[in-house]
Structure 1
Amino acid sequence: MQAQANWENQLIALAGHFPHTSAHPFFSYWAGDAQLQAAYKKAAKITSEHSKSFYLASGLLPEEKRSAARALYAFCRTVDDIVDEVELKKDRDFELDYWRNIVQNAASTSTDDLVASAWADTLTRYHIPHHYALQLIDGVARDLSQTRYQTFDDLATYCYGVASTVGLMSMYIVGFKSHDAVPYAIKLGVALQMTNILRDVGEDYRNGRIYLPREELVFYGIQESDIAAGRVTDRWRQFMKFQIERTRQLYKESWEGVKMLEREGQLAIGAASTFYCGILEDIEKHDYNVFNRRASLSALGKISRIPSLWLKVRSL
């Protein structure tokens, strides 16, 4: 691994060090439990409706791990929606505490909450450290109190909370060979979240948030009024080129961690990385206009990348 930047060391410290287990899941959710089957089907439905990329990438996993990955996504999506859609503070606090309780006890308090049932089961069966799930909840809740970030180091900490934690939890689902994989999972999470941030600049501004580091905006001579007006200037293009170049480098460096995963999980994680890189290409293709359009990679664009990705994974 290359020499680590300050933000990387800080995030590795946040991740901590948990015992690595190669134990198989405790039991199969298909073992005659109809309610649990329904819970996992609900999680899969949420994933397919909200993230075509995650749904397709997780589809490259064996059946039980695929269902667990989608339970993870449904948990993350549900918590995110609480922050974005629940208006009253007391209601938000109650619902976030409800999910903290589910994580801490690895059990759902209601058989009617299918997402909670699937997630509690996944937490238990795959030995996922509760620490990461609690960090995810706190990371998402940060949007309620912070809408600007001064430096990239500050932003990286946010990215860790809302995305690297997802990567670390995913690692327990797909399987990994040693704790050495942790820094790479963190780095991939930062890259994925930075891609989201670069894609959603216009939408985030309309929601009152600017995630782009202020220091770097100032360096390139960009003011908030430029973002508000959606100005695609030469300064903006140079700023976005820098952001995309750094994010691509993070994707490149994170590939070293893919070979530390269990073989059956490498293609799925590689696909997530590859699909999101395609979003960066789409931003470039449309002259860095992320103000009134949402960059994306088409279904055909994703599928067409899988054969070369498969060859890349086989060569690891």
Structure 2
Amino acid sequence: MSATATPMPETLSADALPAKSSSFYTAMRLLPKERREAMYAVYAFCRAVDDVADDGGPADMRRAELVRWGADIDALYAGRPAPRVRDLVEPIRRYGLLREDFHAVIDGMAMDAFEDIVAPDEVTLDLYCDRVASAVGRLSVRIFGIPEAEGIALAHHEGRALQLTNILRDIDEDATRGRLYLPREKLRAIGLTDPTPQAAIDHPRIGEVCAALAEEAEEHYRQTWAIIARCPRKVTKAPRLMAAAYRLYLDAVLARGWAKPRARVKPGKAALIAVALKHGII
């Protein structure tokens, strides 16, 4: 995190939109205009609060800013939207987005904002995944138009699949920032009881921990695709593309393995294009 404060935006600007090269951007482009714009408004909110956690200055400033975001969400639902959340007014009205899901996202960012996460227990890790990924999914599935029960289940499993994939992909980068998202119980199984992030990822048996977490991610992908198969295809283009694209990252880290040096993985352009074509057209 930055040592100096980064000014927080008074509006959710176009600068917060996803990069055109990202799988998220590609997935959102598949949506009709109104749903796409709603997703961009949600994405911009998530980016803004994530920036507080990562670049918002000293802990007291980050805490105050996240509290302010929470207050802005409450005022928004009370009919008094601040300028920076006005783009959320119409998506909330049109798609029934829930206030508690926005608060869950803020709470997830707070978990990163005030103290670096190091070897959380499995319950805490699952809560973190729910807040930073599945809560976003719960907002998203309502915009996509997925039936309620299936949508909530899809958000649960796909959010966790994607977030665990991120954790496995980024273990070295996270360690340089003093963070370690691998669960405490799995680290203890290889003899690590109170590791620093760097010591953990340098451990000769760290591959066992990562492989076990990858199995959990794979199960969430299996559940994701089972739910998608039960839903109308016209409302699942975006989650299909996201699940397929992120699965490429998981496959890439599994193929690379866990021995050092670990090169950062990136799926080939041809594979990503194939995913975009398959799930963007069908």
Where on the TM-score scale, by shorter chain, does this alignment land: which range? 0.7 to 0.9
Distance 1:75 1:69 in 2: 10
Any idea what SS the aligned residue of 1:288 has? coil
Structure 2 residue 79 is the aligned partner of structure 1 residue 109: no
- Map Cα deviations across residues 32-59 of structure 1 (whole Å, 9 max, x no partner): xxxxxxx88x44x533339712111111
Tell me the residue number matched to 1:134: 103
Give the aligned residue type for 1:78.
A
Name which of structure 1's ranges 271-280 and 224-233 shifts more when overlaid on structure 2.
Answer: 224-233
| Unaligned 5+ runs, structure 1 | 1-38
Tell me the residue number matched to 2:224: 254
Distance 2:16 2:45 in 1: 10
CA 1:98–1:205 in structure 2 vs 1: closer, same or farther (change >3 Å)? same
The counterpart of 2:24, out of the listed 54, 76, 79, is 54
Any idea what SS the aligned residue of 2:36 has? helix
TM-score computed with the length of structure 1 as normaliser:
0.75
Contact 1:192 1:276 in 2 (8 A): yes
Tell me the residue number matched to 1:284: 254
Give the aligned residue type for 2:183.
P
Distance 1:135 1:291 in 2: 36
Structure 2 residue 129 is the aligned partner of structure 1 residue 159: yes
Q: How far did residue 123 of structure 1 move? A: 2.5
Structure 2 residue 175 is the aligned partner of structure 1 residue 202: no
Distance 1:105 1:269 in 2: 30
Give the aligned residue type for 1:231.
D
Q: How far did residue 239 of structure 1 move? A: 2.7
Tell me the residue number matched to 1:148: 118
Contact 1:251 1:273 in 2 (8 A): yes
Structure 2 residue 166 is the aligned partner of structure 1 residue 193: no
Distance 2:201 2:59 in 1: 31
Distance 1:269 1:180 in 2: 12
Distance 1:271 1:163 in 2: 16
CA 1:232–1:56 in structure 2 vs 1: closer, same or farther (change >3 Å)? farther
Contact 1:205 1:228 in 2 (8 A): no
Tell me the residue number matched to 2:4: none
Any idea what SS the aligned residue of 2:17 has? helix
TM-score computed with the length of structure 2 as normaliser:
0.83
Distance 1:294 1:78 in 2: 26
Any idea what SS the aligned residue of 1:48 has? coil
Distance 2:177 2:221 in 1: 28
Distance 2:260 2:277 in 1: 29
Count of residue pairs the alignment pairs up = 267
Tell me the residue number matched to 2:270: 300
Distance 1:46 1:299 in 2: 24
Distance 1:72 1:102 in 2: 14
Q: How far did residue 188 of structure 1 move? A: 1.3
Give the aligned residue type for 1:124.
R
Contact 2:252 2:265 in 1 (8 A): yes
CA 1:226–1:162 in structure 2 vs 1: closer, same or farther (change >3 Å)? closer
Percent of matched pairs sharing the same residue: 29
- Map Cα deviations across residues 62-100 of structure 1 (whole Å, 9 max, x no partner): 122112112211111110110111123342233212321
Q: How far did residue 183 of structure 1 move? A: 2.5
CA 1:201–1:61 in structure 2 vs 1: closer, same or farther (change >3 Å)? same
Distance 2:41 2:260 in 1: 30
Distance 1:105 1:226 in 2: 39
- Map Cα deviations across residues 215-269 of structure 1 (whole Å, 9 max, x no partner): 1012134573684485374x23333222212211111112232245554330111
Give the aligned residue type for 1:301.
A
Distance 1:265 1:289 in 2: 40
Contact 1:108 1:120 in 2 (8 A): yes
Q: How far did residue 168 of structure 1 move? A: 0.4
Distance 2:250 2:242 in 1: 13
CA 1:290–1:162 in structure 2 vs 1: closer, same or farther (change >3 Å)? farther
Any idea what SS the aligned residue of 1:220 has? coil
- Map Cα deviations across residues 184-220 of structure 1 (whole Å, 9 max, x no partner): 3212111111111111111211211111011101213
Distance 1:309 1:52 in 2: 15
Tell me the residue number matched to 1:10: none
CA 1:104–1:298 in structure 2 vs 1: closer, same or farther (change >3 Å)? farther
